[in-house]
Amino acid sequence: MGIKAVKFGGTSLSHAEQMKKAAEIVLSDKERRIITVSAPGKRFPQDEKITDLLYRMDGAQTKEEKEKIFSVIRKRLDTMISDLGLHLDFSDEYREISEGNIKGDRLFSMGEYFCAKIFATLLHCHFTDAADVIFLHENGTPDLPKIKNAVQNLMKKQERTVIPGFYGAKPNGEIAVLPRGGSDITGALTAYGADADIYENFTDVNGVQLADPRMVPNTVTVAEISYEELRRLSSMGACVLHADSVLPLMASEIPIFIRNTNDPNGDYTKISAQKRRIAADDCSPIQASLASKQRKRRGRFRIISHSIKKRRNVALSYSGIVGQKGYLLFSVVLREIGKNISDFGNLLRFFESHTKHVYSTPHTVDSVGLLVNKDELNTAQEELVRQLYEDFHAEKVSVTEHIALLSLIGENLSAQSARLILKAMKEVGAEPILLDGGADSLGMTVGFHENFLLPLVKKLHAELVG
């Protein structure tokens, strides 16, 4: 019998009815043996996720305020337990939290802990504390050999088990949380540890969508994408799957299926090594251009059925149009900067201490551009400009605001993506501020004034879907 590692997101477990749907999915397949859960998520748009409540509780100033937030959490959990007709007593944990003995990362992890206990009780199966299998290094990264060993032992003993996502244990046994959205990573680590045949990630949409449904409501599911495309999509802001969850699965080539808990037999996305391999085998530039001529007659993007025989159609399909607003470009004129690697490095290090990421660094012999996200800056932009003049002796510094970045992503489709994007930009009247193909042939990214984001996404979507 094979092993399927399964993960349910917060909306799939937000209340009793959703939990029942998730339980039905697990029980319908004996191979679904290792199940990771998120904390209960939003039941309706204005609702608060349990994890957000826990963070708010930790940051609350007074005991009364903390108790008020905790009573909301308790009520949600107790309602869920009684609506499911379960007998579960969390009074010990509730007391420890109320008395302030559980705080920081351990408190943030409690949403997943409670949810996993409830779900395991509903499924009549074993509960595994993540602290006993998800081992982390001191810096918070996963200790893969230790995880593999623990999960292998676990699978020998248990038919089926439920594990809370989002946290693990550091070498000294202390609980540490993963990045936000990190239950996806836990699910991937369990799949890796169990040598699972597949990793199924159940969420509230039918897999990866070609564009953000808030921008293009009638968008379509992308049937097949590569691990690399997924990482690019997530890093550019697509809410698909945590980008880091792919890493443990790439080497052992465990495919990921993204499915909808509310439509378990509907469209889904498969993420695997297959598409990249086919793209590399089949897509010489000449073949790509021939296929693109054929596709012109049929519409450029087709929803690929999973039974499709034609490998080239898989290889030559786009995996996403992702766009985000809120970027700034610092354009710095500095003589010889493009020739002097060490000065270039100093400039990057300067930005490192003032922001989380530098998204692009186009440069020439005497100038460099640094693209950053406004929300990620921890220093006022005027102050950065002042320091660039004073400490780096820049000749000129200008800042372009309100930039949107849009990426059209597809294996081996950089040239085609650039052509499509530039044509669409001309049609909507957007001027390119920046064009960046990256170094991995995964498509093209372009920067332009953010007023054009929506029309451009819509235009490109219409171009691809036909």
Of 119-127, 176-184, 294-302, 350-358: span binding ligand ASP (CB under 6 A): 176-184
Task: Identify the CA nearest to 275 among candidates 238, 327, 307, 318.
Answer: 318
d(CA 152, CA 351): 43
Q: Which is nearer to ligand ASP, 48 or 96 (CB)?
A: 48
Q: How far is the CB of 5 from ligand ASP (least distance, A)?
A: 15
How are strands ordered across the β-sheet holding 269-272?
126-127, 161-164, 32-37, 4-8, 198-203, 256-260, 269-272, 224-226
* Host H or E run for residue 434: strand 434-436
Strands (E), 242-358: 256-260, 269-272, 320-333
Q: What do you get for the CA distance between the two ends of the chain, in Å?
A: 43
Residue span 106-145 as binding mask against ligand ASP, x where in contact by CB under 6 A, dash where not: -----x----------------------------------
Of 87-95, 130-138, 178-186, 304-312: span binding ligand ASP (CB under 6 A): 178-186
Q: Which is nearer to ligand ASP, 167 or 327 (CB)?
A: 167
Q: Which is nearer to ligand ASP, 181 or 255 (CB)?
A: 181
Using CB under 6 A as the binding rule, whether residue 182 contacts ligand ASP is answered as: yes
**Per-residue CA distances from 60 to 40, 105, 375 (Å):** 21, 15, 23
- Judged by DSSP in three states, 344 sits in helix
Q: How far is the CB of 236 from ligand ASP (least distance, A)?
A: 19
d(CA 20, CA 84): 8
Q: Which is nearer to ligand ASP, 107 or 283 (CB)?
A: 107
Q: How far is the CB of 187 from ligand ASP (least distance, A)?
A: 9
Using CB under 6 A as the binding rule, whether residue 161 contacts ligand ASP is answered as: no
Using CB under 6 A, which of 165, 168, 248, 323 touches ligand ASP? 165
d(CA 158, CA 151): 10
Q: Which is nearer to ligand ASP, 41 or 323 (CB)?
A: 41
Using CB under 6 A, which of 11, 51, 416, 441 touches ligand ASP? 51
Q: Which is nearer to ligand ASP, 211 or 241 (CB)?
A: 241
- Judged by DSSP in three states, 265 sits in coil
**Total number of residues that touch ligand ASP (CB under 6 A):** 13
Of 92-100, 182-190, 302-310, 416-424: span binding ligand ASP (CB under 6 A): 182-190
Please give the residue whose beta carbon sits closest to ligand ASP in the complex. 183
d(CA 424, CA 187): 39
- Residues forming beta bridges with residue 175, ordered by sequence position: 169
d(CA 379, CA 372): 12
Using CB under 6 A, which of 4, 10, 278, 448 touches ligand ASP? 10
d(CA 50, CA 56): 10
Residue span 55-94 as binding mask against ligand ASP, x where in contact by CB under 6 A, dash where not: ----------------------------------------
Q: How far is the CB of 282 from ligand ASP (least distance, A)?
A: 36
Radius of gyration of the chain (CA): 24
Q: How far is the CB of 116 from ligand ASP (least distance, A)?
A: 12
Of 66-74, 175-183, 218-226, 293-301: span binding ligand ASP (CB under 6 A): 175-183
- Tokens 């092993």, residue located: 3
d(CA 249, CA 273): 10
Residue span 22-41 as binding mask against ligand ASP, x where in contact by CB under 6 A, dash where not: ----------------xx--
Using CB under 6 A as the binding rule, whether residue 18 contacts ligand ASP is answered as: no
d(CA 286, CA 56): 56
Q: Which is nearer to ligand ASP, 178 or 368 (CB)?
A: 178
Using CB under 6 A as the binding rule, whether residue 164 contacts ligand ASP is answered as: no
Of 180-188, 277-285, 326-334, 437-445: span binding ligand ASP (CB under 6 A): 180-188
Using CB under 6 A as the binding rule, whether residue 180 contacts ligand ASP is answered as: yes
Residues 296-325, interacting with ligand ASP (CB under 6 A): none
Q: How far is the CB of 108 from ligand ASP (least distance, A)?
A: 8
Q: Write the CB contacts of 420 (distance below 8 Å, at least 6 apart in sequence).
A: 408, 460, 463, 464
Count Cβ atoms below 10 Å from residue 169 Cβ, excluding itself: 19
319 close to 377: Cβ distance less than 8 angstroms: no
Using CB under 6 A as the binding rule, whether residue 190 contacts ligand ASP is answered as: no
- Judged by DSSP in three states, 429 sits in coil
**Per-residue CA distances from 161 to 21, 42, 89, 164, 385 (Å):** 18, 25, 20, 10, 55
Residues forming contacts to ligand ASP in the complex (CB under 6 A) are 10, 38-39, 49, 51, 111, 165-166, 180-184
